[in-house]
Structure formats: C-alpha cells, structure tokens
C-alpha cells in the first residue's frame, strides 16, 4: 500500500454488503465479525472483541498508533460477558437485636454486644435461666434501653444460628494455634532459594476451586479482622480471577519448532493469549476502570510481564503427564532457541515453585496479589516508564488492595505467620522484578536481531516496547 492510499474501516450489519466484499476478493481487505468467534474472510480467530482489535492494530503504522488502539480497547465495554455486580455497601444487620452488625460471629451476622453476650453465656443452660417477664417473648431490639432478658436473648442467639462449636476454649485456641504454626512453618522457614519437591496432598482445596462463592473454610475466618464487606470484595475479585483463568482452554506452547525464529513467533502467540486474559480480568475491577485511560494503558504495558509469574503459579501442577522428563527436555530446548540460558530457566522455575509453596495456589491470595502488582507504578524497573496522570488514584487503589491482602492473611493466620509470609513474599517480588527485567530486555533484543518485529502481534510490540520504525 502506497503512502497516498487511504485506509478505511467500515462498520456494517448489512449481510449482502459483507458477502459482496468477500466474493470480490479485494486486495488488502479483511472482514472481521466481532459478534462471532469465526471470521468471514479472515484466518484470524478471537475470543472476544479485544482479540479482533489486535488485528485492527495492524492497520496502523508505528507503535504509537498501536498504543492508541489498545487504549481504546481498555476503555471500551466488553460485551462478551456481564461485569460482576458491584458490592453493596448497605450496613449489615444484627440477627439478634437488629442493630448494626460488625460481621459474622459464630456463624451469624451480629453486633459486638450480641457477640460478647453469646461468648459469656453460651455454656449456660436455657432451662436454668428465667425470663424477666415469664413469657419468653421479651423485646430484644437494640433501641430498647432497659436491660434485656438474658434467657430470651440467648434463645434468640441459638435460634438465629449461632453455634457453640465455633467457639474455642483457651486450651483449644492454643493447641490449634500451635498445630497451624507447626504445619505451616515446615514450608515457611525453609530457604526460599531451595524449594523442596512440592506435593499438593492435603492442599487440593487450593487448586480445585469453584466459580461460586467459596463457603469452604469460612468458619476459620476472623470476622473481627476481615469485615463482611471486605470479604465480599475479596470474593468478587477471586471469582473474576477464576472466571478468567480457570477454563478448559489453557494456553500452551508448541515445542515442536525448528529454529529460533519459529520459537520466538510461537512465544509471541502464547504471550499474546496470556496478556489478553489478564487484560480481561483487570478490566472488571472498578478501581482500574476508574483510572485515567493513559494510566490504565501504562500500568498494563509495563506491569504485565510481572503478572505472568502469577499465571505460572496458578497453573502449576507437580503431578502431570506434561511434566515428564521428555516435557522438560522439550521445554529447555524451546527456551534455548529463544535465547534463554539454562541459568535463567532454573531461576525462573525456582521462583514459580517458591510462589506455589508460599501461596498454596490459593485463588484469593493470587487474585489480590495481582491487583497489588498491577497498581504498582515503577515495579517494572523500566527507565522509559512515563509518569502517571493521576498518581494519587493509582496509589489509593494499590493501598486498598494491599490493605485487603493483609486483612485476608491476618484473618487466616496468626501474627507471626503473617510476618513470615509477607517477608518471603517481598523477597520473591524483588527476585521476580529482576528476572522479568532480564527476560524483557532479552526478548527485545531477540525480536529485533532476527527482524521479527513486523511479524510480532501488535499487542506484544507494545508490551515489549519494540517497533520497526
């Protein structure tokens, strides 16, 4: 196409016009059907409108135009699925007295007063207690200022669903704390550099997850630390994460390539698929959606490489036919063709194993960690990363999810375990930064030296910050 030719995009629902264009076989013409996964006159396939936009980016010259297209893609509404409902901010009501609840206590939404009352009187027998009015129908409303009937109040606690089994004696609490500490310290105290062979026996609940609300283990959550509003936000993010990544069509690499150019092109297709999934996930997050469009684009462009470590951790399976010796031989050969040394491969593998061991592949932990990383401006260690338009908004979003992440850990583990986990996690993130920077610079050099930039999918050109112009 010469410089004086004009590029035109026609958006139409006229089927006869589409068929006419297809039948004429006009040169330099492509027909994209954004309502279907099958393309009319194109070999391009896509899961949604964003993947079609990846081809539309080829209509422009230069990375700057590609960037504008992807900014619009991030700014558009994804019609392939409904966004999760926003979490309601209505205050919870105590099931005992009707006052404002602080969260779920002993299996029931309750206020601090009713929670404390149940804890003090749970071992008393209702038959030995006397009703103040003798009718067993005393008013328990929080608006009532007079002394409440203890028998009616305790009866109401049990009637609402409070469970004595959810309480622990001091001896049981200490025994339970020591048991959890001994169980988890076996892995947490181990050196991060040398991770032992991982077995998921006893940890399958972290791998086999559901897209529905995760009620399993909810009794172990400390609602004094993680409020029900916080938990609902965490659960919403977790479900969005699973909806995006827990699918049957898991992207995989084709190792049967003959040379470096073929390996690099296969890697670009694979990276493109993973990147689109992360974009699909984070676009569902309100805090990300409300950012300035330039900031959204910049955060995705520079932080997406670090997020790939989360993906590797989530899909890691220690017992798998794909993890045979033959698989690892092909894997090493493939990345060797891409220019990745065995030392870098070994470091990358150890990092993934460490992340698996630390997070137990818990979808809530990984989804919150993804949120923290995507809102971390400058974490890519790229000198070309531009300043944010609204750094305060990005910082607030990062602080919000960091706070949720810490509450999530504190609601499940004791203080010492949380400190140990956060310390190891920070160490891992620092090492992840370093290896991702090395890989980004290596791939930049490889695609440029093998003159493959024009063949690379525009989205990868953008994230690697490479251009033929």
pLDDT tens per residue, range 33-44: 655 544 444 433
* Domain shared by 161 and 215, yes or no: no
pLDDT per position as a tens digit, 132-153: 888 888 888 887 766 788 899 9
- Boundary residue ending a domain (167, 191, 216): 167
Neighbour-count burial for 341-360, b at 16+ CB within 10 Å, e otherwise: eeeebebbebbbbbbbbbbb
Whether residue 89 has pLDDT greater than 60 = no
* Domain shared by 436 and 311, yes or no: yes
* Domain shared by 255 and 370, yes or no: yes
**Phi/psi at 246 (5° precision):** -90, 70
For residue 322, is it within any domain? yes
* Domain shared by 134 and 213, yes or no: no
* Domain shared by 151 and 215, yes or no: no
CB 359 within 8 A of CB 413: no
Give me the chain's average pLDDT, please.
77
**Can you give the residue range of the structural domain that contains 272?**
207-464
- Which CA distances in Å does 383 have to 174, 210, 388, 453? 50, 40, 14, 21
Confidence class for position 226, pLDDT limits 50, 70, 90: confident
* Domain shared by 159 and 252, yes or no: no
Q: Of 230, 287, 220, 238, which Cα lies nearest the Cα of 404?
A: 230
Query: In sequence order, which ranges of 316-381 are alpha helices (DSSP H)?
Result: 325-337, 342-359, 363-374
For residue 154, is it within any domain? yes
For residue 371, is it within any domain? yes
Stronger pLDDT, 324 or 445, i.e. the higher one: 445
What's the rounded Cα separation, in Å, for the pair 419 and 410?
10
Residue-by-residue DSSP string for 114-145: HHHHHHHHTTS-GGG---SSSSS-----TT--
pLDDT per position as a tens digit, 252-275: 888 889 999 999 999 999 999 999
Whether residue 428 has pLDDT greater than 60 = yes
Q: Say what the pTM is.
A: 0.57
Whether residue 344 has pLDDT greater than 60 = yes
CATH code for the domain of 404: 1.10.565.10
pLDDT of 34: 54
CB 318 within 8 A of CB 312: no
* Domain shared by 331 and 460, yes or no: yes
Question: Token digits for 454?
Answer: 């024009």
What's the rounded Cα separation, in Å, for the pair 463 and 380?
11
* Domain shared by 266 and 151, yes or no: no
CATH code for the domain of 163: 3.30.50.10
What's the rounded Cα separation, in Å, for the pair 180 and 172?
12
Cα torsion angle, 178, 180, 183, 189, sign: negative
Element spanning 416, H or E: helix 415-449
For residue 118, is it within any domain? yes
CB 47 within 8 A of CB 273: no
Stronger pLDDT, 81 or 201, i.e. the higher one: 81
Place of tokens 């409020």: 227
Question: Token digits for 256?
Answer: 């049967």
For residue 93, is it within any domain? no
For residue 84, is it within any domain? no
pLDDT per position as a tens digit, 115-125: 888 888 888 88
* Domain shared by 272 and 376, yes or no: yes
* Domain shared by 116 and 243, yes or no: no
* Domain shared by 232 and 138, yes or no: no
- Count: domains in the chain: 2
* Domain shared by 252 and 333, yes or no: yes
pLDDT per position as a tens digit, 165-207: 777 655 566 666 666 566 555 544 443 444 344 333 333 333 3
């Amino acid at each position: 196409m010469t410089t004086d030719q004009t590029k035109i995009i026609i958006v139409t629902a006229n089927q006869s016009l589409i068929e006419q264009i297809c039948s004429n076989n006009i040169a330099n013409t492509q027909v994209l059907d954004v309502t279907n996964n099958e393309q009319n006159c194109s070999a391009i396939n896509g899961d949604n409108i964003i993947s079609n936009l990846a081809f539309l980016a080829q209509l422009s010259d230069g990375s700057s135009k590609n960037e504008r297209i992807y900014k619009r893609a991030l700014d558009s509404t994804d019609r392939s699925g409904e966004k999760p409902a926003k979490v309601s901010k209505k205050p919870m009501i105590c099931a005992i007295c009707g006052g404002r609840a602080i969260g779920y206590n002993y299996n029931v939404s309750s206020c601090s007063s009713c929670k404390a009352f149940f804890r003090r009187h749970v071992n008393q027998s209702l038959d030995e207690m006397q009703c103040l009015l003798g009718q067993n129908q005393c008013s328990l409303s929080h608006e009532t200022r007079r002394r409440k009937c203890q028998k009616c109040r305790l009866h109401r606690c049990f009637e609402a669903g409070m469970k004595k089994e959810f309480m622990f004696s001091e001896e049981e609490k200490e025994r339970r704390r020591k048991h959890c500490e001994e169980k988890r310290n076996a892995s947490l105290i181990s050196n991060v550099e040398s991770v032992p062979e991982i077995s998921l026996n006893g940890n399958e609940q972290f791998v086999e997850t559901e897209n529905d609300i995760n009620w399993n283990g909810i009794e172990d959550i400390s609602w004094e630390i993680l409020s029900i509003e916080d938990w609902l936000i965490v659960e919403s993010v977790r479900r969005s994460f699973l909806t995006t990544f827990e699918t049957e069509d898991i992207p995989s690499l084709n190792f049967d390539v003959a040379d470096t150019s073929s390996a690099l092109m296969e890697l670009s297709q694979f990276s493109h698929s993973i990147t689109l999934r992360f974009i699909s996930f984070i676009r569902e997050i309100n805090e990300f959606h409300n950012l300035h469009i330039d900031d959204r684009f910049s955060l995705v462009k520079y932080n997406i490489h670090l997020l790939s470590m989360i993906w590797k951790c989530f899909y890691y399976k220690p017992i798998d036919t794909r993890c045979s010796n033959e698989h690892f031989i092909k894997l090493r050969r493939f990345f060797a063709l891409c220019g990745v040394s065995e030392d870098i491969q070994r470091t990358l593998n150890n990092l993934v194993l460490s992340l698996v061991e630390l997070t137990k592949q818990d979808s809530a932990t990984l989804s919150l960690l993804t949120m923290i990383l995507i809102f971390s401006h400058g974490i890519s260690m790229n000198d070309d990363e531009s300043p944010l338009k609204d750094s305060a908004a990005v910082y607030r979003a990062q602080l919000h999810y960091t706070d949720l992440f810490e509450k999530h850990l504190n609601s499940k583990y004791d203080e010492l375990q949380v400190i140990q986990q956060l310390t190891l996690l920070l160490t891992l993130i620092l090492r992840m930064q370093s290896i991702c920077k090395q890989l980004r610079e290596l791939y930049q050099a490889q695609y440029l030296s093998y003159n493959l930039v024009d063949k690379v999918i525009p989205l990868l050109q953008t994230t690697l910050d490479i251009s033929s112009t």
